[in-house]
Amino acid sequence: MSGNSNRNVLTVSEITGEIKKNLEESFQSINVIGEISNFKPHVSGHWYFTLKDTGAQISCTMWRGLNSQVYFTPQDGMKIVATGKISVFAPRGSYQLDVKFMQPAGQGELQAAFEKLKQKLHTEGLFDLHYKKEIPAMPQKIGIVTASDGAAFKDMINIASRRFPLVELIIVPTRVQGSGAAESISENIIRLNNETDVDVIIIGRGGGSLEDLWAFNEEIVARAVFDSKIPIISAVGHEVDFTISDFVADLRAPTPSAAMELATPDSGELFAFISDFSYTSTNNIENLLEEMNQKIGQTIKSYGFNIPFDLIKNYSQSLDNSLYKLNANINSSVKDINSQLKLLDKTIKSYDLKETLRRGFTIISQDSKVVSRSKDYDYNKKAKIKFYDDEIEIN
């Protein structure tokens, strides 16, 4: 018995080495389905967790370089299919599954993770309406977190240049699906907050599968959206796709194009507003002028306004009267003076003649005309000689 057993004695290292060799050779590439529990992302970047079902459990590790390729963040309770190999850690006599790749066991798993995170954030108040910031009506700059070569960005450019080309778009090229997408999205939201003065941010991407859109359901994105000081419009996939970021964002748009429409005013409406101004204001001014005109007209016709004119008329009439009277008076005075003057003149003249005659001169006249020169005297006619005292006739 003991001799036999001597032959079969193995050291712990020997048996562990055998086990390691057997297990690792047998299970170099296996797919294991199970539920995650005790999930621990280590600061080193490695993941440690347990996969279990109702009857058993197995320790799992997933190294940093590999887990960065996983598009979703594992959660306890999530059923996954892990692909990897069995490795035995001799110093502890333990075996584990080295996971190279994992995916949810079904879409229901992602859905469940989605509901779970949604419930958690809802309870924390991240969706509360009173945290929602107002989207500016007329932004000068719009920050865009999406893939710079994606269709979503092209659509947004088209909408912006059609609706409101005054705006500036600031695109931060972002990984929106696959590994590192959630980190890329949240980092870029933070960068837009810290490095730019954009008025609003649109985060989003075009349509895709639930897996493609998954980054927008990650907690890290939800937190970045919630912490943003700049209002955020979330526009992920199509109308029917709802993501966690939609709930946290200040506004949800059904598509990226719709987000750009919500973020920009329509320049057609702005043109209409401007023409409307020109029309109504010109009308207002014209009405005011017309009103003023009427007021002036009424004032001119008013009784009170015309009193001074009446006064002027009255004065002018009485002035005319006075002038008339004055004229009449002057005329009669002048006439009187004239006739007096004539009388005086006659008197003066007669006095002058009489005096001459008295001094001995005579006046000779023929045919009632005074003959003052001898050459005018007609010897064939009668002549009258006027003396001082009398007049005689000679032949």
Partner 1 sequence: MSKKKSTFEDSLHRLEKISELLESETDLDESIKLYEEGVKLSKECYKKLAEAELKITELKKELDTD
Name the CA dihedral angle for 148, 150, 151, 153, rounded to a multiple of 10 degrees: -20
Q: Segment contacting partner 1 (CB under 8 A): 92-100, 111-119, 168-176, 370-378?
A: 168-176
Q: How far is the CB of 278 from partner 1 (least distance, A)?
A: 6
| 3-class SS of residue 131 | helix
Kindly tell me which residue out of 126, 167, 222, 263 binds partner 1, with binding defined by CB under 8 A: 167
Kindly tell me which residue out of 192, 221, 233, 253 binds partner 1, with binding defined by CB under 8 A: 192
Query: Is residue 322 a contact point for partner 1 (CB under 8 A)?
Result: no
> Which runs of consecutive H residues, i.e. helices, occur in 93-172?
107-124, 151-163
| 3-class SS of residue 184 | helix
Rounded distance between C-alpha atoms, residue 216 and residue 243, angstroms: 6
For partner 1, the closer CB: 160 or 176: 160
Q: How far is the CB of 281 from partner 1 (least distance, A)?
A: 5
Give the x/- contact pattern for partner 1 in 106-145, rule: CB under 8 A: -------------------------------xx-x--x--
CB 72 within 8 A of CB 218: yes
Q: How far is the CB of 215 from partner 1 (least distance, A)?
A: 18
CB 102 within 8 A of CB 82: yes
For partner 1, the closer CB: 113 or 181: 181
Enter the tokens of residue 164.
């409101």
Kindly tell me which residue out of 15, 166, 312, 385 binds partner 1, with binding defined by CB under 8 A: 166
For partner 1, the closer CB: 149 or 393: 149
Q: Taking CB under 8 A as the criterion, which residues in 260-299 touch partner 1?
A: 267, 270-271, 273-274, 277-278, 280-282, 284-285, 288-289, 292
Rounded distance between C-alpha atoms, residue 57 and residue 44, angstroms: 24
Kindly tell me which residue out of 57, 119, 161, 327 binds partner 1, with binding defined by CB under 8 A: 161
Neighbours of 132 (CB within 10 A): 14
Question: Which of 148, 175, 185, 163 lies closest to 270 in space, CA to CA?
Answer: 163
Q: How far is CA 313 from CA 298, 317, 323, 326, in A?
A: 21, 6, 15, 20
| Site for partner 1, rule CB under 8 A | 137-138, 140, 143, 148, 157, 160-161, 164-173, 188, 191-192, 195-197, 267, 270-271, 273-274, 277-278, 280-282, 284-285, 288-289, 292
